[in-house]
Structure 1
Amino acid sequence: MSRFNQPLGGNDMPRFGGPATMMRLPAQADATGLDVAFVGIPMDHGTSNRSGTRLGPRQIRDESRMLRPYNMATGAAPFEHLQVADIGDVPINTFDLKKTVDIITAFYDGVLDKGAIPLTLGGDHTLTWPILRAMKKKHGPVALIHVDAHADINDTMFGEKVAHGCPFRRAWEDGCLINDKVFQIGLRGTGYGPDDFDWGRERGWTVVQAEDCWHKSLKPLMAEVREKIGDAPVYLSYDIDSLDPAFAPGTGTVEPGGLTIWQGLEIVRGCAGLNLIGGDLVEVSPPYDPSGNTALIGANLLYEMLCVLPGVPQRRS
């Protein structure tokens, strides 16, 4: 791989300087020639509670300056095997959510047509539905690993079909998902009734509530996920509120009793070997993240997604 592909190192430029791109990678206008494209979607007009995720991509990029190219835990060296750049933000319509979802789908059609795998910096969770529409056009229905405190399968919110609590209901209606290969991990909190989680179960989805994850490693769960998904194309959607607010308070809809950061890492690292065709990290809300730690965790999880993409060996003995 060319030197162009490398993040700017901390010995070449102080961590507090250099370009404001993901991992201080080269910026590029589109996905031409890339294996992987980091993309921001600065939106929060699908949010139902605390706004602020429109600022998420910028803050994740800023905190990502601390990341280095080699994964000390897994031995993955993604920049030795993949051409990666930051292609900036989707030009959303900040006044019209319905137009925005169509803008997102069209943008990702372009990324996928270039042959690149998109890794997305969110933005509220509404954005996953239009991405999955683009994925279906490219790959057909896909498997899904959805890590979240919430199922996001509402039919409507305030009478609207498009919102951050609805993306996976809309994706299911659009035929984007392989039902027996959908996994929702970390769901918890209060609800309006059993259907809040059981709607997915009734369609063949595997729903793993947070309480079933407490005090244990999730490596066995991810082994089961890999076996059930097999070689199907799979999309990973990671809502930062899946983590307990002790780890990630900077989000709009916090729920106590969530996953630990090491469980989050086990989930993403457990995707190694799958046919991962894209991923997103959503719902980082900088106004509620004064230390920057939530955005820093988000940046690290996106890097871990990069490390498990097809073509990146896991070298740890």
Structure 2
Amino acid sequence: MFPGATADRDPASYVVVGAPLDATTTFQPGTRFGPDRVRRFAETYDDYDHATGSHFSALGVHDAGDVHPWDDVPAYLDHLAAELRSVTYGDAIPLLLGGEHTVTYAGVDAVAPDTLVVVDAHLDLRDEYGGNPWNHACVTRRELDDLGVERAVIVGARTGSEAEWDRATEGDVEVVPPADAGDWIAEVATDPDTLGGDTYLSVDIDGLDPGFAPGTGTMEPFGLTPREVRDLVRGVAPHAIGFDVVEVNDRDDGQAAALAGKLCREFVYRHADAAAHDGD
């Protein structure tokens, strides 16, 4: 169980769902261990958040366990999307713990956002990788082309194929490189209309510099700092209808999982605080 996720399912405001998919990782596998590892390394965090004056255990978080994958990735994603959609039917926010980044497709399918904000080192705009359109390197492309997401903002991107960079010039994609992330985060904080409607927030842990989060499959230097990603999560959370953190594996001493668990908690604290003050 995710620490502090003590609410019953029916009255819950947030539902944690693990998706330990590890089918298409292209360098270092191990994302199948991600959800349990995130739960484990979140155990040391205090329940009380001084910034919002709230207790995590009082915010209505339920842990529904894992949706275990099988070999047919598209079928698994359809099933996972149905499980996450059932969360929204109860007026709760799904909190998805990956698993490889492909699972974000199910989260986006379940909540149907206008905008996808994704923290990622990679553009993930390939139409296929190694002949597989469901590879984790294709997930943002699938969400744009197949699910009809109106706009994707990729924060922290610093690598991609030539074809991906060409796709990123189209009007439905905005790339925010690491050097510009602080300005973009500040803009969202002062003008939420920057997001353009209901938003799904996905954090690929490799968006952070691997010096901070080495436990991931495809490390890419010169990335974001933990504080930058924390501030991004704080700024986007009040306007988000779904959240995930993905691509954590077991190839470090817990640094990536600890960050992932902390970012999940930051999302809940800030989303709940904004909901409590809505209309003030």
TM-score norm. by structure 2 comes to 0.90
**Per the alignment, in what secondary structure is the counterpart of residue 50 of structure 2?**
coil
Q: Does 1:200 align with 2:168?
A: yes
> Which amino acid counterpart does residue 155 of structure 2 have in structure 1?
I
- Contact 2:21–2:98 (8 Å) recurs in 1: yes
Aligned to 1:228: 194
Q: Does 1:23 align with 2:3?
A: yes
Q: How far apart are the structure 2 equivalents of 1:261 and 1:246?
A: 10
> Which sections of structure 1, spanning at least 5 residues, go unmatched?
1-20
> Which amino acid counterpart does residue 128 of structure 1 have in structure 2?
T
Q: Does 1:65 align with 2:43?
A: yes
Within-5 A mapping of 1:83-122: 83-93=60-70, 95-122=71-98
Aligned to 2:136: 164
- Contact 1:188–1:211 (8 Å) recurs in 2: no
Aligned to 1:8: none
Runs of 4+ in 1 over 6 A off after TM superposition: none
Aligned to 1:270: 235
**Per the alignment, in what secondary structure is the counterpart of residue 237 of structure 1?**
strand
> Which amino acid counterpart does residue 130 of structure 1 have in structure 2?
A
Aligned to 1:146: 118
- CA apart distance, 1:226: 2.0
Aligned to 1:17: none
Q: How far apart are the structure 2 equivalents of 1:76 and 1:187?
A: 33
Give the alignment partner of residue 237 of structure 1, picking from 189, 195, 202: 202
Give the alignment partner of residue 283 of structure 1, picking from 244, 247, 254: 247
> Which amino acid counterpart does residue 167 of structure 1 have in structure 2?
V
> Which amino acid counterpart does residue 295 of structure 1 have in structure 2?
A
- CA apart distance, 1:229: 2.2
Give the alignment partner of residue 186 of structure 1, picking from 145, 148, 156: 156
Within-5 A mapping of 1:293-312: 293-310=255-272, 311-312=274-275
- CA apart distance, 1:207: 0.8
Q: Does 1:49 align with 2:27?
A: yes
Q: How far apart are the structure 2 equivalents of 1:272 and 1:252?
A: 26
Q: How far apart are the structure 2 equivalents of 1:62 and 1:142?
A: 33
**Per the alignment, in what secondary structure is the counterpart of residue 216 of structure 2?**
coil
Q: How far apart are the structure 1 equivalents of 2:189 and 2:40?
A: 33
> Which amino acid counterpart does residue 164 of structure 2 have in structure 1?
D
Name the CA shift for 1:73/1:33 in 2 (closer, same or farther; >3 Å). Answer: closer
Q: How far apart are the structure 2 equivalents of 1:173 and 1:272?
A: 25
Name the CA shift for 1:272/1:92 in 2 (closer, same or farther; >3 Å). Answer: closer
Aligned to 1:5: none
Q: How far apart are the structure 1 equivalents of 2:170 and 2:184?
A: 24
- CA apart distance, 1:204: 3.0
- Percent of aligned pairs sharing the same letter: 35
**Deviation string, structure 1 residues 106-149 (Cα, Å, up to 9, x no partner):** 2112222222111111100000112211212xxxx421111000
Name the CA shift for 1:25/1:130 in 2 (closer, same or farther; >3 Å). Answer: closer
Q: Does 1:211 align with 2:179?
A: yes
Q: How far apart are the structure 2 equivalents of 1:52 and 1:165?
A: 16
Q: How far apart are the structure 1 equivalents of 2:116 and 2:217?
A: 23
Aligned to 1:15: none
Aligned to 1:253: 218
> Alignment length, in residue pairs?
276
Q: How far apart are the structure 1 equivalents of 2:235 and 2:118?
A: 13
Q: How far apart are the structure 2 equivalents of 1:273 and 1:115?
A: 15
> Which amino acid counterpart does residue 22 of structure 1 have in structure 2?
F
> Which amino acid counterpart does residue 80 of structure 2 have in structure 1?
I
Larger Rg: 1
Name the CA shift for 1:160/1:128 in 2 (closer, same or farther; >3 Å). Answer: same
- CA apart distance, 1:272: 4.7
